[in-house]
Amino acid sequence: MKRRDFIALTSSSIALATMGHATTGDFEITRTEAEWRAMLTEAEYLVMREEKTERKFASPLNNEKRDGVYHCRGCDLALYSSDTKYDSGTGWPSFWDVLPNAIGTKMDNTFFTTRTECHCRRCGSHLGHIFNDGPQPTGKRHCLNGLSLVFQAV
């Protein structure tokens, strides 16, 4: 590969990787960067607004076993029921289904692969990714950052 082709490919990959952060778009709930930073820790901000990923096995929600509902930390929208949570062995809270009208998705072309990114449909906060290796009945694995979620026991 010629140097100029490599630079063009790399530039395109970087552009794709930085396009379409969850912080852009039309959402019911919008906040300025300063407002988000005031309400979130630095780690929460990086995950929810910059689409970073928390370290595996870092979230206490990975081991949460009680009945309840997982809400968006950014706007308190109910997203996932504990009825669909399972131990995927990946180190992140995982669910095989989502509550109705809770999330939005988009293609994520970072890390030289295409994945389905999921975000809160109401405020756009990044939640994680959806993979096709989950249990039935959906066959999906919603692999989420615990920092994006707040658990409410019932």
Q: How many residues does the chain have?
A: 154
Q: Tokens 């039935």 belong to which residue?
A: 136
Q: Active-site residues: which are they?
A: 143
SS3 9: helix
DSSP 23-56: TSS--SS---HHHHHHHS-HHHHHHHHH---PPT
Give the H/E segment covering residue 102.
Answer: none
CA distances to 5, 38, 55, 67, 70 from 153, in Å: 54, 26, 24, 6, 9
SS3 117: strand
